[in-house]
Structure 1
Amino acid sequence: MCGIAGIFNLDGRDVDPAVLTRMTDVMVHRGPDAGEIWLGGAVGFGHRRLAIRDLTAAGRQPMSDPSGRITVTYNGEIYNEAELRTELEHDFGFVSRSHCDTEILPAGYLAWGEKLFSRIEGIFAMGLWDRAARRLILARDPVGTKPIFFSAIGGVVRFASEIKGLLADPQHPRALDSEGLHRFLAMGYVGPAATTMRHIRQVEPGSIVVYDREGEASRRFWQPHRKQGFRRLDEAVECFLPLFEQVVNDQLISDVPVGILQSGGIDSSLIAYSVAKRGKFPLVTASFAEQSHDETAIAALVAQETSMPHRIVPVSEDPHPEDTLARVVHHFDGQVADESAGPLLLLTRELRRNSTVALSGDGADEFFGGYPTYRASRLAGGPGAAIPAGLAGAVGKLLYAALGANEKRLPATALLARFLLGIAAGGRHAHAEWRRYIPDFMLPSLYGPGLRALVDVSPMAGYRAAIDRADGPTMLDRCLISDQTYHLPSGLLMKTDAMSMANSVEIRVPFLDRRIMEFSGSCSLDLVVPARGPTKPVLRNALRRKGASERIWNAPKRGFNNPLAGLLRGPMRQLCDNVFVRSRGIFEPYLQPDAVRDLWQSHASRTTNHAYALWPLLTLALWRSELAGDDLFVRRDR
């Protein structure tokens, strides 16, 4: 896993090596093992290397084929590399020069052209230059596990693994985008193609963006779908078990130590049981003082039953939560506000002491129906549809105001308030509305001149459109696909990438292997989101078949959440007072400073629980402060 950057001057001017070096070096955390640039006249690539496979100099990038026609800078892992290498050797006379998976990319493009990207099984973001065609291709893996940001301004195309890579070029504008901020404040992210910066976009998951003599073009090479082939649970489990074994085995390939992010949930536990016979892979678990958030007891039982070493990281005992948040904001570049990012940052820092690679259960909830929102969407399409929007909104507001001092993970009042507010605002798109951080009824009083024109424009429009265009027979099928194509890459995967790479750790995601995603798409809706009974029946039964005790495979879902309300009122109170009261001018012109102050003071006094509304505001303030070079507090250990 690495950091990549590049420049393409469309007018033919030579790339400035000093600028390219700056763009690359600001991402040294993504690749502390080596850093190089390659110049080809009007195009230049940069690379920061985190050495995982073939640790010799033969694996260094940017890398070209022997003829020099194709050059790539690449971030990721290719799990079917051996299969592709054999085919290239047999059919095209390819001669290996290393054991690095990067080597097959230039050769594969020469052999198959753009079809290469749909043939790769793995996680990747890359820039590829075809000298003969004078073509730049930017590519992102099927589900968007690895990010790639780009801009095209004034005849200059730039790309990088992180926005800070683009902004390292002093000629790149730093203007914020009002519509991006509108989405960010509502969802805690912007979407899989947009950003909070006016000129910066993302390559969409499963897509390529091409720049050549014809201009700019984009093409999609994969997206999830649902065809519902498996209908019997036993039949689905029988098919899933050997497939998952193969996927996990493929993802263990590494020349450096591998660990497991073990939450105690079904997904990471299934990974742990799948690798148990292959070695002693260390399990790393976050512990929370608030017991409604803590899963260490189950995680410890998994470690005991699999006989694997186990480390528990007490994230609630973080002595410097403000500095941890500073690192989170720095590495998110203003694109994500996820309250669980801090614990993940601390978790991967601890994991890095002994491992450079870790397997994670990310994506299982989106593909195997683990979130309670799916059953809520089923309910919304039935009895919920009869609730008048006005009544749902009025009752939802009253329940929201009644949350007060309750700091438990999922109070019943909070769940009902969110359900009713979603019904009121979303109608048939309620599923998207349940992802909100700041409720829509707050926006008229909260928005300032910079956002006021957007008060009546739904920030969930992109999410809603993803639901509408999804290829699925029912609304619930379409909700699943929209989460897989919109919600997952925009929030969770961006968080996992940023927080792991901040500590130079590569995270691999077996549940997001295309073979597993396509298996999920072939399961009937009742196997993914059953109307009653435990969630994720396929995964629970697979875990039971692997010998896990009932306490593990029948454990209720908790999720990896930070106890946010108490964190803001407690260890971070001084920071919040500084941001929301003394320095509240930082929110202008986008938000009303006094309205932000009032929101905070209502939360601080325990009158109402505004934790999720305040979190993106706090993140935005610290990001704007960093952009301006006027940090609101000292940052340690960045």
Structure 2
Amino acid sequence: MCGIAGFWDLNKKRSRDLYLNIKKMTNCLYSRGPDDKGFWIDKKNCIALGHRRLSILELSKLGKQPMFSRNKRFIIIYNGEIYNYLEIKEELKKEGKSFKSNSDTEVLIEAIDSWGVQRTLIKIAGMFSFAIWDKKKRKIYLARDRLGIKPLYWSIQNKILYFGSQPKCFIANKYWKKKIQIKSLLYYFQFGYIAPPNSVFENTFQIKPGHYLSFDSKGSYQIKKYWDLSKKINKNKELSHSTKEYTERLKDLLSKVISQHLISDVPLGSFLSGGIDSSTISLIMSQQKKNIDTFSVGYNNSDLFDETEYSTKIAKIIGSNHTNLQINPKEILNNISNIVEEYDEPFSDSSQLPTFLLSKLVKKKITVCLSGDGGDEIFGGYNRYLFASKIKTIFSLSPYFLRKKISELFLNISPGTYDSFFKIFGNKIHRKINGDKIHKFSGILRIKDFKSIYEYLLSFNTKNEMPINKDLLKEYQKINFELNNNNFVEQMQLTDANFYLPGDILTKVDRASMAHSLEMRVPFLDHRIVEFAFNLPTNLKIHQGQTKIILRNILKEKIDEKVFNRPKMGFGVPLADWLRGELKDWAWDLISQKKIEDGILDISEAKKIFNEHVTYKRNWQNKIWTILVYIIWKQKYI
């Protein structure tokens, strides 16, 4: 894993500043690649490439970047791993190519030299973002992996093309001017993140997953899609094999993919929460490599989220060298601003806080870590998939006017009143049914179009609830989630893979892990696994109120179902309580600053939301967190 940065000045007026600017751009990505750095400058064409290296394969100087092709036509900067690079290497050897290293970077650039960018992207399997300069055509290509595991941003200002792993490297270039893109900021306040292709900065974008951009010396560019998951799905899926046959096929595919994910020249392990996803990955790892290192997390002296009891049982069964890491909640509280600042675009999924500290602890032991991220999206693990089927039934049986009346009745009762009632039946019942959930459900009943439910479920704020100057809402552009009623659950999964996964989950993990120079690998998001999963019959993913059916089938061959068959646990923090306690004064001070009155944030609305939360009228933790993160981000980057 590495950090890449570069720019191309088509004006050809800044050749004297090439080295100074590329050095600054690259150095701000230090944590993504602390082991080495490299630069390449072409003064004639006024182009500069920079690279920070986290050495994983071919630890010698033979893996150094920027790297030239053997014929000197191409030069590449690349971040990621090509998991089938050995297969690609053998194929290229048969075509007459020779290699001087064991680096996947060399395989990638020689593949592009032989086959071109498009064909190479189709053939490789991995997580990656790269920029490659074609000296012959005077054209640069920017490409990103199929699922968006690795980030890649680009920007055009005054006929200068900027590109890199994170937008903070653009800020380091003195010619790049930062300005907030209001449309994208509104998406942030709606969802808590900014999904591809958008960026919070004007004239700045993310390369979408499964896409690449070509940019020529005239300033013209094209964006092409080389992988489309929706076109990989057989629309007429039927149970053409037995459940056992499907399970065996998935086991074989996972074994192949995970064996390729285990290729590393540095210490490697896996996250093991004891849940279905991480247990599946760790189990198959243990069948291929003895005494693997596994890690789980709990909190010191606290009743907070703790997975160590379950993970320890799984670790004993699979025979791993297991470490239970302990997070001190005080360390999170003391470092909140520092953690938030690692995300150079506003990002308010609060599980970013423990993920950041977990990465810090794991890095002390290993450099590469496998995780079960992506399992929920591709094998149907989220509760919203179960919920959607029930809601669809309600919508089909009850007309809108009746749903609206029922919703109004529910909303007339405050969340606090509901909470007081359900607490009578104990904490177990109250966790399942509480006032905030009832109000959320009531909001769903008021929706006219069933297809709009997905957006509502993902949103922290609806358009009219955003705590921003209402005059800015004219900039809002509704995202068209292409959902149909025929197979709504599958459509939700597909939209999660294209929107929620790269926008939230993968951004969170990338920034948290790279802040500590830890490479995270996600086998479930290998495109071969993803395509297989989306072509499974639905009842092998979701059936009779259970999720991830096929993964459960794999696990129960070796592990008692009682160990992993339990309610889904989120990896979170008690943010609602902290905002009423330890973080209350800190949060109020942030919201009350005069200097945040910028014409964007509605300060009076923010204070109203905060006061309703601390007085227990509502649980507005997500709304408040989006506000606080925005303030911290703006103070750091604007």
Q: When the two structures are superposed, what TM-score results if normalisation uses the length of structure 1?
A: 0.91
Q: 1:133: Cα distance to partner?
A: 0.7
Aligned to 1:418: 440
Structure 2 residue 550 is the aligned partner of structure 1 residue 534: no
Write the mapping of 1:263-342 to structure 2, written as runs, cut at 5 A: 263-277=273-287, 278-288=289-299, 291=303, 293-315=305-327, 317-342=328-353
Contact 2:7 2:161 in 1 (8 A): yes
Q: CA–CA distance in 2 between the matches of 1:239 and 1:369? A: 18
Contact 1:143 1:223 in 2 (8 A): no
Greater alpha carbon shift after TM alignment, 270-279 vs 185-194: 270-279
Aligned to 2:460: 437
Write the mapping of 1:114-263 to structure 2, written as runs, cut at 5 A: 114-213=118-217, 215-225=220-230, 226-227=233-234, 228-230=237-239, 232-263=242-273
Residues 597 and 65 of structure 1: CA distance in aligned 2, closer, same or farther (over 3 Å) = same
Q: CA–CA distance in 2 between the matches of 1:334 and 1:422? A: 30
Q: CA–CA distance in 1 between the matches of 2:471 and 2:9? A: 33
| Structure 1 residues 511-561: Cα deviation after superposition (integer angstroms, max 9, x where no partner) | 00111101101101222232x23211001111112x112223423222322
Contact 1:348 1:500 in 2 (8 A): yes
Residues 401 and 352 of structure 1: CA distance in aligned 2, closer, same or farther (over 3 Å) = same
Q: 1:53: Cα distance to partner?
A: 0.5
Q: 1:84: Cα distance to partner?
A: 0.5
| Structure 1 residues 562-594: Cα deviation after superposition (integer angstroms, max 9, x where no partner) | 2221122233223212112x3165153112212
Residues 502 and 409 of structure 1: CA distance in aligned 2, closer, same or farther (over 3 Å) = farther
Aligned to 1:467: 483
Greater alpha carbon shift after TM alignment, 301-310 vs 65-74: 301-310
Q: 1:410: Cα distance to partner?
A: 5.6
Q: CA–CA distance in 1 between the matches of 2:410 and 2:168? A: 40
Greater alpha carbon shift after TM alignment, 380-389 vs 268-277: 380-389
Write the mapping of 1:370-409 to structure 2, written as runs, cut at 5 A: 370-385=381-396, 386=398, 388=400, 390-391=404-405, 394=408, 397-398=411-412, 401-402=415-416
Structure 2 residue 464 is the aligned partner of structure 1 residue 453: no
Aligned to 1:588: 598
Write the mapping of 1:589-604 to structure 2, written as runs, cut at 5 A: 589-604=599-614
Contact 1:404 1:606 in 2 (8 A): no
Q: When the two structures are superposed, what TM-score results if normalisation uses the length of structure 2?
A: 0.91
Q: CA–CA distance in 2 between the matches of 1:395 and 1:500? A: 46
Residues 395 and 248 of structure 1: CA distance in aligned 2, closer, same or farther (over 3 Å) = farther
Q: Where in structure 2 are there 5+ consecutive unaligned residues?
A: none
Residues 72 and 400 of structure 1: CA distance in aligned 2, closer, same or farther (over 3 Å) = farther
| Structure 1 residues 116-139: Cα deviation after superposition (integer angstroms, max 9, x where no partner) | 111110000010111101111100
Could you say what secondary structure the match of 2:556 adopts? helix
Q: Where in structure 1 are there 5+ consecutive unaligned residues?
A: 629-638
| Structure 1 residues 481-532: Cα deviation after superposition (integer angstroms, max 9, x where no partner) | 11111111111001110100001000000100111101101101222232x2
Instruction: From 71, 94, 99, give the equivalent of 1:96.
Output: 99
| Letter in structure 1 aligned against 2:92 | L
| Letter in structure 1 aligned against 2:228 | Q
| Structure 1 residues 268-301: Cα deviation after superposition (integer angstroms, max 9, x where no partner) | 0111111123122222222247757332221111
Could you say what secondary structure the match of 1:275 adopts? helix
Q: CA–CA distance in 2 between the matches of 1:11 and 1:400? A: 61
Greater alpha carbon shift after TM alignment, 122-131 vs 602-611: 602-611
| Letter in structure 2 aligned against 1:53 | L
Q: CA–CA distance in 2 between the matches of 1:442 and 1:400? A: 18
Residues 219 and 392 of structure 1: CA distance in aligned 2, closer, same or farther (over 3 Å) = farther
Contact 2:415 2:434 in 1 (8 A): no
Contact 1:5 1:160 in 2 (8 A): yes
Aligned to 2:630: 620
Residues 514 and 193 of structure 1: CA distance in aligned 2, closer, same or farther (over 3 Å) = same
Contact 2:436 2:618 in 1 (8 A): no
Q: CA–CA distance in 2 between the matches of 1:216 and 1:265? A: 45
Structure 2 residue 618 is the aligned partner of structure 1 residue 608: yes
Contact 1:230 1:236 in 2 (8 A): no
Contact 1:194 1:200 in 2 (8 A): yes
Contact 1:2 1:76 in 2 (8 A): yes
Q: CA–CA distance in 1 between the matches of 2:405 and 2:334? A: 43
Structure 2 residue 8 is the aligned partner of structure 1 residue 8: yes
Residues 482 and 394 of structure 1: CA distance in aligned 2, closer, same or farther (over 3 Å) = same
| Structure 1 residues 140-189: Cα deviation after superposition (integer angstroms, max 9, x where no partner) | 00010001011011100001101111111122121111111111011011
Could you say what secondary structure the match of 1:205 adopts? coil
Contact 2:4 2:78 in 1 (8 A): yes
Contact 1:266 1:555 in 2 (8 A): no
| Letter in structure 1 aligned against 2:159 | G
Contact 2:238 2:537 in 1 (8 A): yes
Greater alpha carbon shift after TM alignment, 297-306 vs 507-516: 297-306
Aligned to 1:31: 33
Kindly tell me the number of residue pairs found equivalent between the two proteins: 613
Residues 295 and 605 of structure 1: CA distance in aligned 2, closer, same or farther (over 3 Å) = same
Q: CA–CA distance in 1 between the matches of 2:414 and 2:455? A: 18
| Structure 1 residues 350-399: Cα deviation after superposition (integer angstroms, max 9, x where no partner) | 10011000001000100000001112222232213436363465356456
Contact 1:423 1:430 in 2 (8 A): no
Q: CA–CA distance in 1 between the matches of 2:89 and 2:413? A: 59
Contact 2:147 2:210 in 1 (8 A): yes
Greater alpha carbon shift after TM alignment, 597-606 vs 613-622: 597-606
Contact 1:396 1:421 in 2 (8 A): no
Q: CA–CA distance in 1 between the matches of 2:444 and 2:158? A: 42
Write the mapping of 1:50-65 to structure 2, written as runs, cut at 5 A: 50-65=54-69
Aligned Cα root-mean-square deviation (Å): 2.3
Could you say what secondary structure the match of 1:76 adopts? strand
Q: CA–CA distance in 1 between the matches of 2:51 and 2:320? A: 35
